Structure 1
Amino acid sequence: MTAIDEFLSMLAAERGAAANTLSAYRRDLEGAEAAIGDLAAADGTALARLGQAWSELAPSTAARKSSALRQFYGFLVDEGLREDDPGSALPRPAPRRPLPKVLTHAEVEALFGRAEDEASGDRPAAIRLLALLELLYGSGLRATELVSLPLSAVPRDAPLLTVTGKGGQARMVPVGGRARTALSRWLAVRPAGGRHVFPSTAKSGHLSRVRLFQLVKELALRAGIAPERVSPHVLRHAFATHLLEGGADLRVLQTLLGHADIATTQIYTHVDSARLVALVNERHPLARGGARA
């Protein structure tokens, strides 16, 4: 077993890392090894060369790769597989996390207005779309969490869903009255069989993420909103931002979104600040060429 394999085994066993996470770590580590040779034996000089190898990458991508390598060398030292930690020689790009796209309240209303009109009849596809939309914006679910939601996660009475998020971490997510109503309507017309709330004949047994993205963008187009402005993740961002605007506590928001690190949730404070700056620039009298002192 190689040092990389041992490191990945540790991530799986001790941190409960998901398969996708392990694959991402493997790609980053094996890519670095292809660039500079055996990682387990590499010194600081070799690691410093990665800066050139990563020069064309986005800062966020290079920062992720650098983080994977630092963890790898920390593991080697902890396990006694090497005495020194050369991780300090790794490039330290400063990633700039872009502010997430956020829908306005008017756009959300237009999107829901169209979905509700289409679901006013008895067409299962329209009712399903409304339920999907309500859970994306009303509960802030990730696309993968939503499409893979098992029937067992939907309780009969309690207004909560049990969701399995990144890294296999389970959390309780509140479901508002509107979402519960939409979900109940969908379950009443849902095709029999299968163990998922939103079943499919696909190999996975549930609606695919790709199809969910298509459905949301198609709805946006019908609602008169540019499709590139809307996606399941944008609706999750809108859920978080609009809750923060309404006075939600950042720690509560972290729990609702399933973020392991509060730093991830803090991006929404920047979104809110950006909104306030835009509001001042748009509405302040001086911004409109008003009177000067």
Structure 2
Amino acid sequence: MTAEALRAGFLSWLGQERHAAANTTEAYGHALAGFLGFLTDHLGEPPDLPALAGLAAADVRAWLARQAKDGLSATSRAQHLSAVRTFFRYLNRRHGVDVTAIRLVATARVRPALPRALSVDQAIDVTAHISDIADDPALQARDTAFFSLLYGSGLRIAEALALDVRDAAALRRDLTLTVTGKGGKTRMVPVLPPVRDAIEAWLTVHPRPLPDSPLFLGARGKRLDPAVAQKVLRTYRRLAGLPEHATPHALRHSFATHLLANGSDLRAIQDLLGHASLSTTQRYTAVDDAGLLAVWRKTHPAAG
């Protein structure tokens, strides 16, 4: 079998049998395409199943070295290597091919970057004044509702954009939203009264408030594109003098950081954010510690 046929079979297995999210399948497919393309140049011809079985650890390391030379970050290289490991496990189970080389290649330890949150005043400033960017009252209402939801409930941008009108309509009887996160997992998130009011204000001017319509629409009447939402905040942060890390995702970081600073339980924050592992949520404790240290350095008489 050709490597491309094996790749297609793997991606089909990943989506249909492992029920991987579409974004995960796409990312794995991209990583494998790069790996197999490298092997075609490295080996002088497109690899088949026997060629993959005969790979040496040096071949895999040469691929990682090429990625590093091309400027791919350590985090991305680790993610690509993880995709290739999963592919080789699939080959072992489905085709009886044990590629021992992959087990001889260590994954570089990547220190995750600390989440960069906004201050409370900066986050509130975004939700209160983001509407200044648009001239159209409907777009003003949309932007206020969207960014208020990101900060008020800690949603990922994709989670907020995936909501439909019927989801928001439930707020009239409940105080929560059902959100679909990574891996297709759903969770309940509370929605604060000011956020509910902002969403209600947007629904009153929503161009197509049918139950199955996207909650947040773009100018052309389709589901709001993430790039457009990011551009709105990028424009506002420049006008308002906010830091460069003032992005939609920074509002999610701010949600978690501000809850922790005010005494919220780490497990509760994990549930609210939809993190599969508590270790992911624990990064925010380092952010809080760093903030305390910065205050100490700035205010203690002997700090220098």
TM-score per shorter chain, which class?
0.7 to 0.9
> Is contact 2:10–2:90 with CA below 8 Å preserved after alignment?
yes
Q: Which residue among 41, 66, 73 is the counterpart of 1:53?
A: 66
Cα separation, 1, equivalents of 2:235 and 2:33: 39
- Cα 1:111–1:34 change in 2 (3 A) is closer
Is 1:73 aligned to residue 88 of structure 2? yes
Percent identity for Structure 1 against Structure 2:
35
Cα separation, 1, equivalents of 2:62 and 2:14: 26
Q: Which letter maps to 1:40? A: L
Q: How do 1:143-292 and structure 2 match up within 5 A? A: 143-154=157-168, 155=170, 156-193=172-209, 195-200=213-218, 202=220, 205-222=222-239, 224-226=240-242, 228-287=244-303, 289=304
Cα separation, 2, equivalents of 1:137 and 1:202: 26
Stretch deviating more after TM superposition (79-88 or 207-216) = 79-88
> Is contact 1:254–1:265 with CA below 8 Å preserved after alignment?
yes
- Give the match's secondary structure for 1:17: coil
- Give the match's secondary structure for 1:36: helix
- Give the match's secondary structure for 2:189: strand
Q: Which letter maps to 2:13? A: M
Cα separation, 2, equivalents of 1:66 and 1:248: 36
Where does residue 12 of structure 2 map in the other structure? 9
Aligned-pair Cα RMSD in Å: 2.5
Q: How do 1:18-33 and structure 2 match up within 5 A? A: 18-33=21-36
Where does residue 52 of structure 2 map in the other structure? 40
Where does residue 142 of structure 1 map in the other structure? 156
5+ unaligned residues in a row in structure 1: which ranges? none
The size of the alignment, in residue pairs, is 283
Q: Which letter maps to 1:53? A: R
Cα separation, 2, equivalents of 1:91 and 1:20: 25
- Give the match's secondary structure for 2:244: helix
Taking structure 2 as the reference length, the TM-score comes to 0.83
- Cα 1:114–1:83 change in 2 (3 A) is closer
Deviations 1:193-222 (A, max 9, x none): 55111223548x211111111222333344
Instruction: Give the drift of 1:187.
Output: 1.1
